A and B are shown apart, each in its own frame.
Chain A
């Protein structure tokens, strides 16, 4: 009996009702916030905000939902989730659930300097809604609340058939707004990166035909956004060489941004930021998911695609297709394969757009295959491209732009469709400043090449060695995990600094030590260039993944202090390790001079001055320093 009671007690979850302005760090607790206020939440079993307007500081939390979503926002709640440190959130992969479930009528705003890695549960989105394995009529579907991202570093993976950010399986999207931050969103099994989860292949028509499900409204005003229909390393993608990404396409049939498999994209609006979207096997890069070849599975009246790009947005969209079925795939911007229209695409302002289609689809316009309605070649309803736009569009076996669109407005014929002599092998073609690897049998390239963008900014992430920081020429010190806005193409000089270990900060008033070696960082105007030039000590980073990694040999030297017998002997370093420690390994900037002190049983013994420089073996980032004591 006693044993039984113990077991029961052990399995009962602690439920914590948080009072106003409180903090909870209880890994076993089901935390429920039901009052307005500001709260700090660390690791817990689950977090629910119920009918409350709450600011929740998520502080290095690990929350894995068991039997449901990890975080639930419901009953008209308005939640601002402030990220601090590294947070990991996931739904239950065996139960229909999201990572963060935002129920219809509630809102979620994410911001802060921290990071969030979130994964949906079964059928669910990473951030958005849970899903269901059953096809649902439009009037009966679960809906999603409003999701806004203002800042932070976010990686969102959909659970099975879910979107990274948006809706789950058989659920319509609602409203996703991204104003800032760095966002990586990956759909899974038919879910879009950002948009809807897997809609339908049409087998349940007329209950729910292809086109009935919709991604809702997606608005991107700023930030750096990577969205893919499948898990992919964006840094590895050479957009000018389709082989580098189509070969690894996972055939999920969803758009990068827009509809999941069988789902429309009724409203995608991009007015700023840097966006990189990848669709999969019939799904558009930005637009709808893949459709169908069967008229009975398709709802002509429901299917729609509307994409607007403007402002100073920098957008790259590509549609992957591993050509396994040799029928072609989705447009880069427009519709997926197997639809009756490419929808409406408008690009204006000073936007810069690079669109690479999959075979036989337009780069901007309709996807490949014939219309499921009447067997005709699908084209866009309207394409508008303003005169300030910088556009590069490439298609294989088809015009890059749907010039046959019912409304085709391109300012001053700023581009051209080049006929490419059919070649049985891959070749390279240069248009303007870009060289494109042309797959065999490509027929057309279209491009408007304007000058490379300048003055556009991206968010440069900073990675530092332990207890170090970087200081830029304007005097600002940045620590690991922080980011800095930088102009594309502009060079920035910086120095390495060791922090004061007590505060883990660097200041000029005796806390930490600065190096003298000058390093430079530049974000290039493409998604793939990443290098370190030792001749100029310059890091060149791709705008697709602008992260400055200074935790490399050339940026610092780790000094490891040893005694003849280490027991009860310590090393201190003035301004860095002010509390002497045993087994000390200190990361130090090149060109600095440190004052090292030896202690025996915390009693001062001796001092040595050391000039910090590279190890003779340049492949090593550490130097062993041996005290004679």
Chain B
């Protein structure tokens, strides 16, 4: 009797998994206009019920690195400006885990060294996780390039970036060995709530696509400045 009952439960379990798989395939097929490197399920308002890696696409099989997201990853409209929630979830990852700037109430709280390095990388890569993970590459940039990038990212223009270690005053430019940040990112956007003039995005990051171990959590606050979304503050738990 016990064996019969076990077989029934297994069959039922299999049927549920098959339904979930079908649902996943349908969802991914519908997402034809998204960044091919950002795999996400448009499950914005629904309850999170997707198991990583069961959409038929193995992120590890894609050339380069991928950000593999789920949850409330869609677009939010903040004071008339559409904001890609995934984009800011990923930025929060970059700041927290790549630059170790996981907690700041204002961009002015950021380390100038880290801020300059982040903006520097952003001059060459829109997504830092796509950077190479190995090799040595010399990069240089001018203050005139970096300042607008900082303003674009954080909405501030009066931070003295030349205090950064990356600035070489004798040559009048910033120099950097390109960091090897390349990695896969596995995340789930838990909430993306509009609050007045701010959008607050809470994201959970995992170490692997199976979501078996927690890497950390971030809460990033986004505002609109001069018609563009910028990060106002960030908190994290790792």
How many residues from B make CB contacts under 8 Å with A?
30
B138 touches A535 (CB 8 A): no
Give residues 114-168 of B contacting A (CB, 8 Å): 114, 117, 133-136, 138, 165-166, 168
B99 neighbours in A (Cβ, 8 Å):
593, 611
One digit per residue, 1 when the CB lies within 8 angstroms of any chain A CB and 0 when it does not, for chain B 164-204 equals 01101111000111111000000000000000000000000
B136 touches A473 (CB 8 A): yes
Contacts A475-B135, A608-B238: A514 and B180 contacting too (C-beta < 8 A)? yes
Stretch at the interface among A39-47, A360-368, A515-523, A540-548: A515-523
Q: How many A-B residue pairs have CB under 8 A?
A: 81
One digit per residue, 1 when the CB lies within 8 angstroms of any chain B CB and 0 when it does not, for chain A 575-600 equals 00000000000000011111000000
Contacts A495-B136, A508-B133, A508-B180: A610 and B100 contacting too (C-beta < 8 A)? yes
One digit per residue, 1 when the CB lies within 8 angstroms of any chain A CB and 0 when it does not, for chain B 218-238 equals 000000000000000000001
Say yes or no for B113: interface residue by CB 8 A criterion.
yes
B101 neighbours in A (Cβ, 8 Å):
611
B176 — nearest CB in chain A belongs to which residue? Answer: A516
Say yes or no for B111: interface residue by CB 8 A criterion.
yes
A533 — nearest CB in chain B belongs to which residue? Answer: B170
One digit per residue, 1 when the CB lies within 8 angstroms of any chain B CB and 0 when it does not, for chain A 519-552 equals 0000000000000010111100000000000000
Most chain B beta-carbon neighbours within 10 Å: one of A471, A537, A590, A607: A537
Say yes or no for A614: interface residue by CB 8 A criterion.
yes
A609 touches B96 (CB 8 A): yes
Contact of B171 among A536, A593, A613 (CB under 8 A): A536
Most chain B beta-carbon neighbours within 10 Å: one of A516, A535, A536, A537: A516
B97 neighbours in A (Cβ, 8 Å):
593, 609
Say yes or no for A509: interface residue by CB 8 A criterion.
yes
A518 neighbours in B (Cβ, 8 Å):
138, 166, 168, 175-177
Give residues 73-131 of B contacting A (CB, 8 Å): 96-102, 111, 113-114, 117
A475 touches B177 (CB 8 A): no
Chain A contact residues: over half helix, strand or loop, or mixed? loop
Say yes or no for A493: interface residue by CB 8 A criterion.
yes
Bound: A518/B137 CA distance, A? 11
Contact of B166 among A493, A591, A609 (CB under 8 A): A591
Bound: A158/B111 CA distance, A? 55
Bound: A594/B99 CA distance, A? 9
Bound: A590/B176 CA distance, A? 11
A495 touches B177 (CB 8 A): yes
B178 neighbours in A (Cβ, 8 Å):
516
B176 touches A591 (CB 8 A): yes
Contacts A473-B138, A509-B134: A613 and B111 contacting too (C-beta < 8 A)? yes
| B171 CB, nearest partner CB in chain A, Å | 6
B96 — nearest CB in chain A belongs to which residue? Answer: A609
How many residues from A make CB contacts under 8 Å with B?
29
B177 touches A516 (CB 8 A): yes
A613 — nearest CB in chain B belongs to which residue? Answer: B113
A613 neighbours in B (Cβ, 8 Å):
111, 113-114, 165
A609 — nearest CB in chain B belongs to which residue? Answer: B100
A591 touches B170 (CB 8 A): no
| B114 CB, nearest partner CB in chain A, Å | 5
Bound: A354/B104 CA distance, A? 61
A594 neighbours in B (Cβ, 8 Å):
100
Bound: A493/B136 CA distance, A? 11
| B88 CB, nearest partner CB in chain A, Å | 19
A614 — nearest CB in chain B belongs to which residue? Answer: B165
A507 — nearest CB in chain B belongs to which residue? Answer: B134
A515 neighbours in B (Cβ, 8 Å):
177
B137 — nearest CB in chain A belongs to which residue? Answer: A473
Listed A/B pairs (27) with beta-carbon separation below 8 Å: A473-B138, A508-B134, A516-B176, A516-B177, A516-B179, A517-B176, A518-B138, A518-B166, A518-B168, A518-B176, A535-B168, A535-B170, A536-B169, A536-B170, A536-B171, A591-B113, A591-B117, A591-B166, A591-B179, A593-B99, A593-B179, A594-B100, A608-B238, A610-B100, A613-B113, A613-B114, A614-B165
Instruction: Identify 17 new A-B residue pairs, CB closer than 8 A, beyond the known A495-B136, A516-B177.
Output: A473-B136, A509-B134, A514-B177, A514-B179, A516-B166, A516-B176, A517-B177, A533-B170, A535-B169, A536-B171, A537-B168, A591-B113, A591-B165, A591-B176, A592-B179, A613-B113, A613-B165
Return the 6 tightest CB-CB contacts between A and B, nearest first: A535-B170, A508-B134, A536-B170, A609-B100, A611-B100, A518-B175
Interface on B for A, CB 8 Å cutoff? 96-102, 111, 113-114, 117, 133-136, 138, 165-166, 168-171, 175-180, 216, 238
